[in-house]
């Protein structure tokens, strides 16, 4: 884990400190099998989308770790190689770089621009709308801001696939690269455990089906 990742994880941890300890958060804190952590997540129906807006999760791409760089550029910096920065931004604003897309396996050349920037987008692994309907509506504003900017819940990915996914869960959308599906589902489980979110029955069934192919898959540690 890089110095930046350690710092941002510590700050986001402080933002979610208001959680009451529970089986889910305890399970997330201890590295373990994704199947075991999944079993700690409550299964409920999807709550209404009433009241959801992007603004409920704070300013888009805030500088939550106060390093002088917004979350979007932090994630581009983490996930891209051969990065070129805008001069005078202290290695913050990414002008170009190369992405090996987790979702498709494709190599994508990122170039900042009004249109070209859309080739690489930042995906919320648990979509914010999905999070809202599975418990985030109960979180405080600071906790929702932490969720929206947590590196655990963010990947730089091929823009078209991010658009295809929308707010889908594991029952409605999975990465086309089948070899990444186990890790993807495990990441969603880790995020939902960390923020005390629940799963709906079809979503859990899809996760169980994927993880049956990789029973030793562990959840990532934030």
Which residue is listed with tokens 């692994």? Answer: 125
pTM of the model: 0.86
- For residues 27 and 221, is the Cβ–Cβ distance under 8 A? no
pLDDT over 90 for what percent of the chain? 82
- For residues 24 and 196, is the Cβ–Cβ distance under 8 A? yes
| Span 129-186, pLDDT tens digits | 999 999 999 999 999 999 999 999 999 999 999 999 999 999 999 999 999 999 999 9
pLDDT reading at 211 higher than 50: yes
Domain ranges of the chain: 3-211
pLDDT reading at 16 higher than 90: no
Q: Average the pLDDT over 85-110 and give the result.
A: 97
* Residues 6 or more apart in contact with residue 216 via CB below 8 angstroms: 33
Report angle CA 128, 133, 135 to the nearest 5 degrees. 90
- What's residue 221's pLDDT? 86
CA dist 53 → 44, 71, 123, 168, 187 (Å)? 22, 19, 17, 16, 24
- CA 104/CA 165 separation, integer angstroms: 13
- For residues 110 and 120, is the Cβ–Cβ distance under 8 A? yes
Neighbours of 190 (CB within 10 A): 25
Within the chain, strands assigned E span 81-85, 94-100, 107-111, 120-124, 154-158
CA dist 72 → 1, 62, 142, 145, 155 (Å)? 18, 8, 18, 14, 10
């Amino acid at each position: 884990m890089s110095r930046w990742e350690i710092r941002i994880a510590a700050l986001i941890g402080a933002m979610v400190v208001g959680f009451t300890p529970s089986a889910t958060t305890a399970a997330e804190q201890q590295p373990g099998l994704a199947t075991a952590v999944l079993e700690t997540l409550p299964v409920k129906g999807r709550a209404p989308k009433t009241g959801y807006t992007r603004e409920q999760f704070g300013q888009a791409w805030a500088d939550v770790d106060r390093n002088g760089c917004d979350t979007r550029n932090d994630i581009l910096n983490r996930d891209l190689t051969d990065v070129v920065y805008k001069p005078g931004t202290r290695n913050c604003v990414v002008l170009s770089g190369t992405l090996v897309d987790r979702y498709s396996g494709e190599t994508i050349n990122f170039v900042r621009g009004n249109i070209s920037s859309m080739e690489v987008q930042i995906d919320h692994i648990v979509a914010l709308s999905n999070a809202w309907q599975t418990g985030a509506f109960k979180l405080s504003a600071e906790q929702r801001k932490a969720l929206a900017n947590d590196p655990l819940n963010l990947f730089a990915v091929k823009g078209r696939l991010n658009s295809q996914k929308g707010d889908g869960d594991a029952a409605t959308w999975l990465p086309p690269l089948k070899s990444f599906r186990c890790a993807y589902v495990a990441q969603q489980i880790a995020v939902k455990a960390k923020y005390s979110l629940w799963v709906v029955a079809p979503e859990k069934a899809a996760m169980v089906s994927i993880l049956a192919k990789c029973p030793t898959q562990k959840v990532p540690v934030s």
